[in-house]
Structure formats: C-alpha cells, structure tokens
Structure 1
Amino acid sequence: MRNSYFQFKQFRVEQEKCAMKVCTDSCVFGAYVEVAEAERILDIGAGTGLLSLMVAQRSKAVIDAVEINPEAQLQAQENFNSSPWAERLLLHPMSLQEFSKQKPPTYDVILSNPPFFLSSLKSPDAARNTAKHTGELLFEDIISFAQQHLAMQGSLYLLLPPDEALYFAKLAEAAALYLRDTLHVYTSHKGKCIRHIQSYTFNALAAPVVKEFYIREEDKVTYTAAFEALLRDYYLAF
C-alpha cells in the first residue's frame, strides 16, 4: 500500500488528498530548476506543494503557488504550514486565470508541471483528469501569463511528456518565448524518454541546448550517479 506521505530530508509531503502523488520525474524537475538567485517564484498547479517546497529549500525567494482543486489546496496548505519555509510559501486557491486578475508581481522564475496528454483518452476519475489533462488550464494560458508577468531576464520551466513539450515549444515561439534548453529525462540507460524539462526566456537562441538525464542504470534498479547527485539534498536514501 502506498504511503500517505513522502518524507524528504527537510520536509514531508502529505499526499492522501491529492489525485497526483509525488513521482520521480517531478522530483527531478524540482531539483533541476535554477532558483538560487530568484527573489520571486510562481508555481502553477501546485498539487501537493512538492515543487514549491523543493525550490523553497534552496532559495530565499517568496513563492506563490496557484492551485484550482479544493482537495489539493488543503493538502498544499497543510504541507506548507508544516515546512520550515511557511512564511515564504503563499497559496492562492484559484485558477491561473483568476490569479492573473489579481495584479500579481513580476516573477524571476515561473515553473509548472501542467495538465498534459493532449491527445490521450481521459481517465474516469475526474480529479485525476483535471491534474493530467488540458481542460482547466491551457498551454496558452501559461504562455499568456508568462508574457505579462515573467521578468525580462526570467525563466519559465515546464515538465511535459515529449510530444506535449514539442507542441508547447511551437506555441511559445509564436508568442516570443524561446526555448533555451531541454533536459530529456529517461527511465534508465536504454530506457524510454518519459519527460522533457524545458526552460524558456525572452532571448532567442540560435539553437537550444539539449541534454540527457538517466534516472536508473541499465539494470533498471540502481540509481545513476547523476540522479543521486541531483537528489542528494532531498532523498533520505542518499
């Protein structure tokens, strides 16, 4: 039976109220994004609050977290309140569209593990659908918000499956948000690419940087040295 929480070195993520639980690719994402110099960060679609907590651990930023689902709102707030950074974690229980009407500040970093699987069949579970499929939150909504509220030298980070990542990149470029780099995340050496971690800026590059990241070795059991190094400050096992 899956635990109702995920224990990290400096915080715990309770997750029994959320349809989408803590998963490895989200942990890679949270540890990968560059936030050390950020003063203000926005987490779009906070869920359990995992990403906000991970970036709070290694930054001094004030972090706004937007979440539309009532159960996830309660869960994220509980996780924020019990963390060492509660005073810097601000939950906004509303949609991104509603939040954009609140005259939010400019952000140095905007990050999101947004609804995805544009063309896949929907699950019969409504909460899981909202968490995994575009419907409540469109890619265009994220791009529009970034155009208005991302600092000129800021970064927008996305975690998406490969097909959806390519689609997002086309939409973003048409809106003058340019792909800076992509991390292809693989389950293992010789395994499949399951996610792209993308960063976007307002500065166009001749060619975005593409890197590869492997979670496990070829035996599909042993974590790679790169994974251990990235998650060492978070995972109890390392």
Structure 2
Amino acid sequence: MNKIFHFKKFSILQAPSVFKVGTDSVLLGCLTNINSAQTILDIGTGTGLLSLMCAQRNSKATITALESEKEAFLLAQKNISNSDFSSRITVFNLELQKFSPLLHFDYIICNPPYFKSTQPHHTKHPIARQQLKLDYRTLLLKSKILLNNKGIMGCIFPHYDEEVIFSFAESIHLYPQKIVRISGIKNGKINRTIVEFSNIDPIKKEERYFYVEKSPRVWSAEYKELTKDFYL
C-alpha cells in the first residue's frame, strides 16, 4: 500500500519498492549549505524529497534531479508535479554515468547507496540502497566533473565509510569543507557523516557533532529547530 508523508509545504507519495522518507535525507536536506546555489543537481532523487527540500530552502535555485529506476522516476515526477515547486525542478530517468549536461552545477546533493551488492542482507533493501549502479568512487569522480570551479558536493554516508571516502576524495582533489558527524541519540555511537566537498582546499574546515534524539524517541531541541520548516 502506498503511503503519503506530509511535510508543511509538500507531500511525498511513497511506494514499497522505492526508498521511503528517512531521517538521513531530512538531515542532508537541512544541513547542507545550498542557500547561494543557483543550479542544483540531485543524484538518485528517489521520491523527489531532496529536490523538494532544496526548492523550498532556496527560492532562486533551479534543480535537476536524476533517477535511474523507472518506478522511482515516475514517483518523483508525480510528487514534484503535485508541489508548488514543480516549475523549478526537472527530473530525468537516467543513470549518473550517462548524464552529460552542458552546464556545471553550483551544488550537487546525494544520499547515495550504502549497501554493497556482496553484503548478505542486500536483498532486503530497495535497489536505491545497493551499490549496483552507483558506488562512492563513481559518485565522487562524476561530481568533480559536474561541479563548477566554486561548486560544492554534499552527501551522507555511514560513518564507518568515512576514511575510505575521504582518502579517495583527496586522491582526486576533492576536499572536505564541512563535516557533520551524527549520532542517533545524545552521546551515542556516531553512525552517519555528512560532508561537503569542493575543488578548493580550505585553510580550515568546519567540523561539528549533531544528535537526533536527546533520549529514546524524544527529538533533541537542535533537531526540532533544524527541521521546523519541514515537519508538521
């Protein structure tokens, strides 16, 4: 059964085979620095959530969304067309590897696949969560090509992948500008990292810690403040 997740200014129709609204995407959509971007690329848009969050946060941006899976692409199209932001968002049913636009982007945003196809539990997850069509190396290499000189690429991934991702990014001269390490509960184990990369090696990068809940099933004040423009 399809379920609708209602935000303040748009709604997300969900489907069983498409990755549903989750805290990771909401955090990424809220914590990234998209305010001055004129052109944004959303890689693997899924339901269209990140594109819609970017459109709400930045009223001047035009957004290009890519989605390789047909069912997810159609769902994203529907969610976007039903919103007040449809005139600024264009969705393509296309793999990142085949995307060759004429322009470069001010900002690239992505909640990439986490699970390697060799992991035993990968069959339990939608293809959007599996590194069958898109892995970290491909994402970073292609993002570097698609960013303009001052562009920024923001993504979220499991904290345990941080070292390998940072190492590969450095090898292709993508440098972290901002790092947010996230735990589900205050003083708990860090389980996610949000990072913003650019082609410019900063003198000093911004690093911070963020937690979602202050106690089990009780949102932290910081999380409520961060998401107040989105959650009902």
Question: How big is the shift at 1:207?
Answer: 5.2
Out of 205, 208, 215, the residue aligned to residue 208 of structure 1 is 205
Query: What does 1:40-59 correspond to in 2, within 5 Å?
Result: 40-59=39-58
Query: Does residue 81 of structure 1 match 2:81?
Result: yes
For the residue of structure 2 that corresponds to 1:26, the secondary structure is helix
TM-score using structure 2 length: 0.93
**Which stretch has the larger CA shift, 159-168 or 49-58?**
159-168
State the secondary structure of the residue aligned to 2:122: coil
Matches within 5 A, 1:190-205: 190-205=187-202
Indicate conservation of the 8 Å contact 1:18/1:48, yes or no: no
1:107 partner letter: F
Contact 1:159 1:196 in 2 (8 A): yes
**Amino acid in the other structure paired with 1:148:** I
Letter in 2 for 1:44: I
For structure 1, the 5+ residue unaligned runs are none
Superimposed CA distance per residue, residues 155-180 of structure 1 (whole angstroms, 9 cap, x where no aligned partner): 10011001223221111110000111
> For residue 104 of structure 2, what is the amino acid of its counterpart?
T
CA RMSD, Structure 1 to Structure 2 (Å):
1.7
Contact 1:17 1:72 in 2 (8 A): no
CA contact (8 A) 2:169 2:175 kept: yes
**Structure 1 residue 131: Cα displacement:** 1.3
Alignment of 1:104-123 (within 5 A): 104-118=102-116, 120-123=119-122
Separation (CA, whole Å) in 2 of partners of 1:214 and 1:3: 30
Question: What is the distance in 1 between the residues matched to 2:7 and 2:61?
Answer: 20
Letter in 2 for 1:220: P
Contiguous gaps of at least 5 residues in structure 2: none
Q: Which moved more, 1:165-174 or 1:202-211?
A: 202-211
Distance 1:91 1:17 in 2: 20
Partner of 2:4: 5
Q: Equivalents in 2 of 1:166, 1:45: separation in Å?
A: 23
User: Post-superposition shift, 1:3?
Assistant: 6.8
Identify if the C-alpha distance between structure 1 residues 120 and 181 changes in structure 2 by more than 3 Å, giving closer, same or farther: farther
CA drift at 1:140: 2.1
Aligned to 2:186: 189
TM score, norm. by length of structure 1: 0.91
The structural deviation recorded for 1:206 is 5.0
Aligned residues: 230
Separation of aligned partners in 2, 1:49 and 1:25: 14
1:179 aligns with 2:176: yes
CA contact (8 A) 2:115 2:129 kept: yes
CA–CA distance in 2 between the matches of 1:233 and 1:206? 32
Picking from 195, 217, 221, the partner of 1:221 is 217
| 1:72 alignment partner in structure 2 | 72
Structure 2 distance, partners of 1:215, 1:171, is 28
Aligned to 1:136: 133
Shifted more, 161-170 versus 80-89: the winner is 161-170
SS of corresponding position for 1:109: strand
Tell me the percent identity: 31
Give, as a single letter, the amino acid of the residue that structure 1 aligns with 2:152: S
Q: Is the 8 A contact 2:2 2:16 kept in 1?
A: no
Deviation at 1:24, TM superposition (A): 1.2
* Residue from 219, 228, 231 that aligns with 1:232: 228
Residue 91 of structure 1: SS of its match in structure 2?
A: strand
8 A Cα contact 1:155 1:201, kept in partner = yes
Change (3 A) 1:129 1:4: closer
